[in-house]
Amino acid sequence: MSTIEESKGESATESDVSDYPDYTPISKLTSSDLMQLQNKKMVKHDLLLNNRLSENRHKSELHQRAKKLKHHYKEVDACDKIMAYGFIAIIFLLTGFYWFIMIFSQEIKQTFQEYHIIGHAFVYGSILLGGLNILL
């Protein structure tokens, strides 16, 4: 039975309970059950820790893993820089386009008023920019 069903006030059916054979409602757990669960977690934690700190791991394995992690973090750092510079470039381009439109809005309206081209230019420009974003 999920917490959503509990919050709705619906009761669990036999099929819901049979999906989770180890399921016991929290209200039915005793203190000894809670202690057993905590002991299992502690044993698992200790096993993982011992495995990580064991002496039989070779230095070459650790060195290889460290090299892979270092390479991975360098790639992530390079990706972060590329995204940051790209974001700044896009902000500059958008700001320049905004100021261009603000400064020359009257001239653009007067020049292209009879041709009904402004809407089409924006549509084609948007499609072109979308295509470039997909390609790059």
- For the chain, domain boundaries: 1-56
Structure tokens at 62: 């650790």
Q: Tokens 């499609």, residue? A: 127
- The residue type found at 90 is I
Give the pLDDT confidence of 66-77 residue by residue, as tens digits: 899 999 999 999
Structure tokens at 85: 């510079």
The pLDDT value recorded for residue 5 is 45
The pLDDT value recorded for residue 55 is 59
